[in-house]
């Protein structure tokens, strides 16, 4: 199936709870075309045909917009889901999910961080060519990136949850959220999280036209009120 025109992308986005304008659809499809053009030379992604770029890249990324908004509204530390949200796309690669998020939500401010120069060159070209004023690109290793505190950090098939958390802790403001996109439910990774990280939500995503498992995990640093019980303790009160 060829990549749909904007008139068809809009209804697919609507299945994800998103009302995209024709201009936003145009921008997303221009991004997809640019990604494919650069991919012929620079090998940015293994997914390259029209259908898979639509399903595995655009719609897959757009599927997290509504869940992230809900997570910000419910758990975010002072971040209003509709206004002034700042986030980092960790290991952005070809700009996923950061660029689709920035197009779908122009009031969000994205910083795309990647350690590979050729990928950052593409991201910078996309930022300029698509006129994405709410996108910045940073060529750096995550652990060395110096950025203002963010409302959330998102990753897509980037690393195990423990590594994702360890590499990006300094980028989050107090109470900020980690948003991890996963294929299968990451049961083992969740069990391996540090003790001071709490799982706020795990949800199954339904991506139009994509018959593969997709999950979204929301994490944050555990606050004192949600600290786990100490080893050997129960909920019962023990007399001294």
Q: What residue numbers bound the domain in which 219 lies? A: 63-224
Residue 142 covered by a domain: yes
Residue 17 covered by a domain: no
C-beta neighbour count of 235 within 10 angstroms: 5
Strands 197-204 and 109-114: unpaired
Residue 30 covered by a domain: no
pLDDT digits (tens, 9 = 90+) for 52-104: 788 888 999 999 999 999 999 999 876 555 568 999 999 999 999 999 999 99
Longest Cα separation, the chain: 72
pTM across the whole model: 0.88
C-beta neighbour count of 196 within 10 angstroms: 13
Sign of CA dihedral 33, 36, 37, 38: positive
pLDDT: which is higher, 51 or 116: 116
Report the number of distinct structural domains present in the chain: 1
Residue 32 covered by a domain: no
Total residue count of the chain as it appears in this document: 240
Residue 52 covered by a domain: no
Residue 209 sits in a domain whose CATH number is 3.40.50.150
CA-closest candidate to residue 32, choices 55, 54, 2? 54
């Amino acid at each position: 199936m060829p990549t749909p025109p904007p008139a068809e992308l809009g209804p697919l986005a609507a299945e994800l709870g998103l009302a995209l304008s024709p201009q936003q659809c145009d921008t997303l499809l221009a991004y997809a075309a640019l990604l494919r053009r650069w991919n012929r030379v620079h090998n940015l992604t293994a997914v390259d045909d029209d259908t898979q770029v639509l399903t595995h890249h655009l719609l897959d990324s757009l599927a997290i917009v509504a869940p992230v908004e809900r997570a910000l509204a419910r758990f975010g530390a002072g971040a209003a889901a509709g206004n002034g949200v700042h986030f980092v796309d960790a290991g952005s690669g070809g700009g996923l999910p950061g660029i689709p998020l920035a197009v779908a939500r122009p009031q969000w401010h994205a910083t795309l961080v990647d350690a590979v120069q050729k990928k950052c060159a593409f991201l910078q070209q996309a930022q300029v060519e698509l006129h994405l004023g709410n996108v910045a690109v940073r060529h750096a290793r995550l652990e060395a990136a110096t950025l203002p505190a963010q409302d959330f950090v998102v990753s897509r098939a980037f690393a195990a949850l423990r590594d994702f958390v360890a590499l990006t802790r300094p980028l989050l403001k107090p109470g900020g959220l980690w948003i991890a996109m996963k294929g299968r439910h990451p049961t083992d990774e969740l069990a391996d999280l540090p003790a001071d990280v709490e799982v706020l939500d795990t949800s199954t995503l339904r991506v139009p036209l994509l018959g593969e498992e997709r999950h979204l995990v929301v994490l944050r640093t555990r606050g004192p009120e949600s600290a786990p019980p100490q080893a050997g303790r129960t909920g019962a009160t023990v007399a001294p």
